[in-house]
Every structure is written in structure tokens, then in C-alpha cells.
């Protein structure tokens, strides 16, 4: 949890710095995709695009980790809700069952990617 919290705080700081610099460069003329305000072939902009892409590749799975834990906590509470504590045998948590966790996580991540691909103007 400490690693996730630290990583999330670092990503938040980077995103805020990018947003602040992008806005201060163009003020009211800033477009939703701030990189479109700059020259396309500028080396610094290309470097920024590559850096932002790499950051997003690592940030999406990292940010989805707490969401998946929350989803499994909800599923676990629903699973336990209908059972009597005295009558049920010991069972493995859903999150610890690879046969459940891996497909559910993959499906959720695929849905996230699908939404991102189908809505390219999310920033608008």
C-alpha cells in the first residue's frame, strides 16, 4: 500500500506540473490536448509525447490496482453476506484465487482500454 500511495502521489505531482506548465504557456488559448498548442515536429514536444505515453503505460495498471482491490472487497462482502459464519467451512478469498482474479482483472483492464479507444476526445 505504501508503494502504491507513493507512486500515485508522484504521478499526481507530475500531472499537475504538466497541466500547470501547459496552461501557463498559452493561458486562455490552451486546448484540451495541450500538446496540440505546440509545433508537432519540435523535439521537446516529441520527447514530451513519448514521456507522457510511457507514463500512461505504467500509470493505468498502477491506478487500476486499488480499484481492483475495491472490486474484490465488494465481491467478497457480497459473497459472505448470505452465509452463516458457523456453518461455512474455511474458504479462499476471491482475490487470492488466480483463476478468478486474473480473468476479472483482464476484463476490467480491457474495458478501460476500450473506453479510452472509443472516446478519443475525453479531454473535451
- Digit-coded pLDDT (tens) for 62-81: 778 888 888 888 988 888 87
Q: Distance (Å, rounded) from C-alpha 98 to C-alpha 103?
A: 8
**How far, in Å, are 59, 73, 80, 82 from residue 90 at the CA level?**
36, 17, 12, 15
Domain count for the chain: 1
Q: Distance (Å, rounded) from C-alpha 100 to C-alpha 57?
A: 24
- Digit-coded pLDDT (tens) for 82-103: 666 555 566 778 888 888 888 9
Within-domain flag for 69: yes
Within-domain flag for 16: yes
Within-domain flag for 104: yes
Within-domain flag for 13: yes
Q: What is the pLDDT of residue 13?
A: 93
**How far, in Å, are 4, 10, 86, 91, 107 from residue 16 at the CA level?**
18, 10, 51, 44, 30
Decide if pLDDT at 15 tops 70.
yes
Amino acid at each position: 500500500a505504501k508503494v502504491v500511495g507513493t507512486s500515485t502521489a508522484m504521478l499526481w505531482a507530475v500531472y499537475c506540473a504538466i497541466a500547470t506548465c501547459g496552461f501557463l504557456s498559452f493561458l486562455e488559448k490552451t486546448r484540451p490536448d495541450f500538446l496540440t498548442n505546440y509545433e508537432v515536429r519540435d523535439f521537446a514536444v516529441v520527447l514530451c509525447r513519448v514521456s507522457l505515453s510511457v507514463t500512461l503505460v505504467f500509470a493505468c495498471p498502477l491506478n487500476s490496482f486499488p480499484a481492483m482491490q475495491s472490486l474484490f472487497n465488494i465481491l467478497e462482502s457480497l459473497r459472505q453476506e448470505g452465509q452463516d459464519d458457523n456453518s461455512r467451512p474455511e474458504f479462499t478469498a476471491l482475490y487470492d484465487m488466480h483463476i478468478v482474479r486474473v480473468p476479472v482483472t483482464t476484463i476490467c483492464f480491457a474495458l478501460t482500454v476500450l473506453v479510452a479507444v472509443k472516446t478519443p476526445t475525453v479531454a473535451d
